[in-house]
Structure formats: structure tokens, C-alpha cells
Structure 1
Amino acid sequence: MQFVQGFPQGVYVGQTRVHHEQTQPSKQPELQGFNLALHVNDSAARVQTHRIALLNDFKPYAVDKITWMTQTHSTICHTVNEQITFNALVGDGLVTQRKHHALMMMTADCLPVVLVNAEGTEVANLHAGWRGLANGIIENTIAEMQSEPVYAWLGAAISQDCFEIGQEVKDAFCSKYPELDTAFKAGEKAGKHYADLYAIARYILQQHGVTHVLGGDQCSYQQQDEYFSYRCEAKTGRMATFVFMA
């Protein structure tokens, strides 16, 4: 298990990969790898076996609670501490102040963003595709937190050179933040652009006082030996970005 460096002591952040020593075989070639998503028509038993393997990886850090979501490209964020949710929460952001509680976000080209406060006593995890970013998932998650986030980590997402979008997507961002014009470069076709999700997220985070932004140097589309990519293969698995306090 590899963790991202640069956070306050006791905060653990990371992202799963396609490969894991406990990966179960799949009868569906396109779902080979350490898939953690139940919504991609994988075997539920296989996915649960993978999730249990991940929880076992967390055991040395005394993780005793893990929260998954039904993600919908929304701007909905929940705070989850001691309560037990028997049905998966619907939304795209999670916040906790509880130690030993792992917050999970699944992606396969969309951008996972982890937030941490200065003391390492509150953490958040959010899923940001372009819709979520444009509509305010980062802003809503920051507003849900009880303290100001100072640190952020941007997990693996599709890079600008591989992410072609239409004019309406650029307009959705630039009508809200005109300065984000620099996060887009013109495509070869009329009305097409290439969007930099990492640059967009960094700008929004910095506008809200997040001064230490880590990560943002991977490409899920190009690094298919490490990451799942929905744009490359519509039927594919999902990685999970996690954060917890020990």
C-alpha cells in the first residue's frame, strides 16, 4: 500500500491501481483487474472480495469503518462520523472528523480530490468530473467541512491532451470563472477544446484558500497499465481514492 507524502502526521491518502495481489479472476475480459465498483456489471461477490482485501490492507492502521457512495456526478456532500449507513449514500463528496474511518471515491478518468485541514483532524474526499467541477462539488465540499482545508491531493484523472470537450463545457466554466480560459486549448475541430481538469481544480482550490495542492501529474487514459479509463473502454472497472486519519 503506497501513501501520498506531504500531509499532516496521521493522515493517509492513496489510490488503488489496476493491479493488486488479491485480484480475483474475471469471466469478463474488460473487467480484469482490481475493480472496486458494483455498478459496472461485475460479479458482486468479486467486487466485495476486492473491497474486503482493501479493508485488510487498512487494518495495520486500525481502520474500522469504510464508507462508499452511489456517485451521480452531483454536488451533494455528506458528513459521516459515527452513524452507520446501511444503504449507500447518494452524492459525490464525503467529510469526516472521525479517526480510523476511510472515505472512498471511485473514478476511471474523472478527478478524485482529497482535502485535509491544517491539523489533520478533518478530511474530505470528492469525485469531480467536469459536471461536478463546473457545478461546485469542490466548493460544496469545502462548505461542508467544519474547518478550512489547507491541503489537497489530485488523484489520477484523464489529462488535457486526451480530454476533448465541446464549447458548452468551456462556457460552463468560463462563465463562472473567466480566468479558467487558460485551462482550455483549441481542438482541431470547430467548437472543440481540450480541458485541463487538474488546472481547473487547482484554480478553484486556490480561490478557496487551499495552499498546498499535491498530485495532478498522472493520466488515467494514457497509463492503462495502472489505471482504469472509461474514455478508453466504456465497460471497465473503477479505482478507489481513499483518505483516513489514524
Structure 2
Amino acid sequence: MQLIRPDWPAPPWVQACCTTRSGGVSTGVWAGLNLGDHVGDEPRHVARNRAALRTALNLPADPLWLNQVHGCTVAQRATAAPGCTADAAVACRPGAVCAVLTADCLPLLICDRRGRRVAAVHAGWRGLAAGVIEGTLKALGESPADLLVWLGPAIGPAAFVVGPEVRAAFLAADPAAIGAFQPAAGDRWLADLFALARARLAQAGVTRVYGGGDCTYSDPERFFSFRRDGVTGRMASLIWLGDSTGSDFFASRTNLTP
């Protein structure tokens, strides 16, 4: 199982990672570590993959698996039920695991610099335009200047072709977003999800942003991609508060890449 660890200056008890498709028992178009239970894969395979992930990470609890709908609802991990409809989750208690599933959409992991609150965000273009980032920041209740954000793997700016309505939606909210779009064939545009997310974060006052750049579409060995393959699996991006004594679960792991 190959996992990606965020390269960011979070406190050592803030545990976070993003899965790849490496590992797992799923076969066919879902081959590897598919963690999505809504994409047509055998339920028993998804259950085994999720169990293997919990064991590999020594998770303190099952992640809060969300019913993601490309909206901007934010779930409170302490009170939300598994399968609740939301596209982000926040937690402030040790051992509460937040997670989002992606296969081209952008996952964001967030913590405050003191390591008291964490969040996971699923941000496709609809969620970004609808304000899922801003809603999550509000739910965290921390000063934007105190937050750290990591951008996980998503479809890259050379592969994400969108219609003019997508560009119009972002420019209506922020004319400066014009720089995140490049002309493609006909009336289509190439959109940079990473740049759009960074712009939204900057507008909200968040400047400590890390990661970004891993393209799911162009790397079939490591990542699932809905745009590339249609029916496919899902990766997970997870974050939780661990042992505040400063011990780092990942420190001795060799199967993680920055």
C-alpha cells in the first residue's frame, strides 16, 4: 500500500495521508485500493480495502465516510452519522478521523498551526464555486492566518477541459480567476483546480498552502481518474488528531512518499 503524506509543517500529532490505487483487493476497472462503495465495485472488496486501510494506518476509529454530492455542506465529525450528505468534515477531538473520496476532484486537508482542529474537503469545480472551502473555514472557527492547507492529487490543468459556463461561474465571483483558465478547442477551456483553490483560500486570508500538482488523469499507475476511465475507483484523503505528546505514526513508515 503506497500512501502520500502531506509535506507541510503541521504539528506532529496531526496525522494525514492520501491513498493511491496501490494495494487492495479490487479487480477490473476498480483494480487496487478502491475505497468508494458507490462506484459499482464488489461491496466485499470495498469492505476489505477499508479494513486494510484502517489496519495499515492504525486508525483510532473508522473514518466518517460521507455521501458526497459536489455541494458545500460541512459535517461535524463529533455528531454526524456515517453516510451523511456532505462534502467536508471537521473535527476537534483526538481520534476522530475525517475523510473524503476523490478521483479527479481536489481533496484539501486542513489543520490549525496549534493542532487543535482538522478538516477534510472534497472540492470539484461545483463545490469550489458553491463555497465549500469558505464553509469549511467558517466551521473550523479559527483565524485564517493560523491555518495550514494541503492540496492533494487532482486532475491537472493540462487535462481538465470545461465548458464556458464553468469559467463564467468563477469569473463572476472573482475576475482575477481568469488566470486559472486557458483556451482549449472550440469554446472549451482548460481549468486549473489547484489555482482556483489557492485563489479562494487567499481571498479568505489563508496563505500557508502546500501540495498541489499531482495529476490524477495523467498517472494511471498511481491514481484513479473518472475523467480518464469513466467507471473507476476512489482514493481517500484522511486527517485526524493523534497523540499530542508529539509521537508521529508515520515517522517509522517507509511506504509513504512526500
TM-score range, shorter chain: over 0.9
CA distance in 2, matches of 1:3, 1:10: 13
1:149-198 Cα offsets, whole Å, 9 max, x none, are 51001100000110111111000000001110011011121x21100000
Query: 1:210: how far off?
Result: 1.5
CA distance in 2, matches of 1:193, 1:96: 36
Q: 2:115 aligns with which of 102, 106, 120?
A: 120
1:69-104 Cα offsets, whole Å, 9 max, x none, are 0100011101112x472x411010100001122111
Letter of the aligned partner of 1:58 in structure 2?
L
TM-score by length of 1: 0.92
Query: 1:2: how far off?
Result: 4.5
Runs of 4+ in 1 over 3 A off after TM superposition: none
CA distance in 2, matches of 1:57, 1:38: 19
Q: 1:174 aligns with which of 171, 176, 189?
A: 171
Check conservation: 2:26, 2:34, Cα contact below 8 A. no
Query: 1:3: how far off?
Result: 2.2
Check conservation: 1:4, 1:12, Cα contact below 8 A. no
**Helix, strand or coil for the counterpart of 1:66?**
coil
Gaps of 5+ in 1: none
Query: 1:125: how far off?
Result: 0.6
Give the match for residue 45 of structure 2: 46
Check conservation: 2:26, 2:33, Cα contact below 8 A. no
CA distance in 2, matches of 1:54, 1:33: 12
CA distance in 1, matches of 2:26, 2:101: 20
Between the aligned residues of both structures, percent identity stands at 33
Distance 1:84 1:71, change over 3 A: closer
Q: 1:239 aligns with which of 232, 235, 240?
A: 235
Distance 1:103 1:167, change over 3 A: same
Confirm or deny that 1:101 pairs with 2:96. Answer: yes
Give the match for residue 135 of structure 2: 140
How many residue pairs get aligned? The number is 237
TM-score by length of 2: 0.88
Whose strand fraction is larger, Structure 1's or Structure 2's? 1
Gaps of 5+ in 2: 243-258
Check conservation: 1:40, 1:237, Cα contact below 8 A. yes
**Helix, strand or coil for the counterpart of 2:97?**
strand
Taking the TM superposition and a 5 Å limit, the aligned residue runs for 1:160-171 are 160-171=157-168
Give the match for residue 224 of structure 2: 228
CA distance in 1, matches of 2:11, 2:110: 12
**Helix, strand or coil for the counterpart of 1:53?**
helix
